[in-house]
């Protein structure tokens, strides 16, 4: 069997590596460096910035880490045929790259996404997240358009580096898709570090007269903020342009390529995974979707739960979430209970000077089945996976509370919530 994969981000290269391990012939088409957005201009470089006290150290760390990870991917894919270039469908099973045609038994589209931008005058004056990672100097004043994951991570990073940071968010609160309670707590934490956050702020234009001026409307009032650098962080959009989806007869919409639960498109033998499907635009979600597609191709049954996918925001403090929020439960008519705990009551948190934090577990009324978890505090991105694992096995809060946790450890924050 031969599989052709379009895209070398996590949804593409990890699927390719697993296919090679299963003895499948793989052709991987990619129009950028291996690793895609995540490795080269997203998850990994921003985490090198998070782990550095200065911009100079961050740049050095980035230049050390990224090549090392790319070499690791090259090793995983050493048996694959790697084609550099932009892929375009000529028909449902033929792809053209640099004027050469390629065919395969199965095709997986994992072309990723690109930065979105608001269509307001002067939007081109704002930098993308990729360009932010190339800055040579710390801006004295930074204005970030968008209070989502990307915007808030950069806000935390550059505030630590010494920038005066203002965030403009269109919605009434930051992190619109997250649990409202936990998002409000994060907003308060960020405000204490000196980050100014303006919610319900609609950007109308960006102008330059020496400094940048970002004009916005808030409560019917015309407002503005001056900045030396502006970041446009209003989300991402599936990279569908130029793929030739119409020529292949592949159904898609504004949100992305339409797929079923096994990542099959409407065209037999053609699959899609990752950001191009318009779902959760997370690297690990793309990897899971890619594996889901490969398993279907190979006729392998799996227990991958795409409805249970943890997410983390690497601000200071961290925020992590999995499953349903209170708003989700209310919207679906689900009766639920909330179980809470505080970091300040945890011995390890107090001893290590990390007492700012909060945890809430949401369970189904009656059965006690865990429906979701939301954590704000140190190592939230690690702690959330305990709950994700339990949810994959439909565990109840009573069952979770019976699990022994090491003392002293931050994981006892979860245990305290289960038992509340």
Q: Is the peptide bond before 317 cis (omega within 30 degrees of 0)?
A: yes
Q: Environment class of residue 300 by beta-carbon count within 10 Å: exposed (0-12), middle (13-18) or buried (19+)?
A: exposed
Can you say whether the dihedral through the CA atoms of 367, 373, 377, 382 is positive or negative?
A: positive
Stated length of the chain: 420
Question: What's the Rg (C-alpha) of the chain?
Answer: 23
**Six-digit token pair at 370?**
């865990």
User: Looking at 284, 339, 379, 407, which residue is catalytic?
Assistant: 407
The answer to whether residues 309 and 335 touch, using CB atoms and an 8 Å cutoff, is: no
Query: Is 296 an annotated catalytic residue?
Result: no
The answer to whether residues 372 and 324 touch, using CB atoms and an 8 Å cutoff, is: yes
Order of all β-strands in the sheet with 100-103: 87-91, 94-97, 100-103
**From start to end of 273-415, where are the E strands?**
311-313, 319-323, 336-342, 358-364, 370-376
* Alpha-carbon gap, residue 283 to 31, rounded angstroms: 18
Task: Tell me which residues are annotated as active site.
Answer: 407
């Amino acid at each position: 069997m031969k599989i052709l994969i379009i895209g070398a981000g996590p949804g593409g290269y990890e699927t390719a590596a697993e296919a090679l391990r299963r003895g499948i012939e793989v052709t991987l088409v990619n129009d950028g460096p291996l690793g895609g957005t995540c490795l080269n201009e997203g998850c990994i470089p921003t985490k090198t910035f998070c782990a550095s006290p200065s911009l100079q150290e961050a740049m050095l760390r980035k230049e050390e880490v990224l090549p090392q990870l790319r070499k690791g991917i090259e090793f995983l894919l050493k048996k694959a045929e790697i084609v550099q270039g932009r892929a375009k469908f000529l028909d449902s099973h033929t792809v053209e790259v640099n004027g050469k045609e390629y065919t395969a038994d199965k095709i997986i589209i994992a072309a990723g996404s690109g930065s979105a931008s608001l269509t307001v005058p002067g939007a081109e004056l704002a930098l993308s997240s990729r360009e932010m990672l190339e800055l040579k100097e710390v801006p004295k004043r930074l204005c970030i358009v968008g209070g989502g994951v990307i915007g808030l991570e950069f806000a935390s990073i550059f505030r630590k580096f010494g920038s005066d940071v203002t965030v403009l968010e269109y919605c009434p609160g930051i992190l619109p898709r997250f649990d409202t309670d936990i998002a409000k707590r994060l907003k308060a934490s960020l405000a204490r570090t000196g980050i100014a956050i303006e919610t319900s702020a609609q950007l109308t234009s960006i102008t330059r007269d020496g400094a940048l001026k970002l004009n916005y409307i808030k409560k019917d009032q015309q407002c503005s903020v001056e900045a030396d650098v502006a970041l446009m962080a209003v989300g991402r959009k599936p990279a569908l342009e130029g793929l030739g989806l119409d020529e292949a007869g592949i159904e898609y919409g504004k949100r992305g390529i339409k797929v079923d639960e096994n990542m099959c498109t409407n065209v037999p033998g053609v699959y899609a995974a990752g950001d191009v499907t318009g779902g959760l635009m997370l690297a690990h979600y793309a990897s899971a979707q890619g594996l889901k597609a490969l398993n279907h191709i190979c006729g392998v049954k799996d227990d991958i739960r795409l409805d249970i996918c943890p997410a983390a925001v690497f601000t200071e403090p961290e925020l992590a979430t999995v499953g349903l929020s209170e708003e989700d439960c209310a919207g679906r008519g689900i009766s639920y209970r909330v179980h809470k705990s505080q970091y300040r009551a945890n011995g390890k948190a107090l001893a290590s000077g990390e007492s700012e934090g909060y945890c809430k577990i949401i369970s189904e009324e009656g059965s006690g089945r865990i429906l979701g978890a939301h954590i704000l505090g140190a190592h939230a991105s690690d702690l959330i996976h305990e709950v994700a694992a339990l949810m994959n096995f439909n565990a109840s809060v009573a069952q979770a509370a019976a699990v022994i946790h090491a003392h002293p450890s931050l994981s006892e924050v979860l245990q305290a919530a289960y038992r509340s």
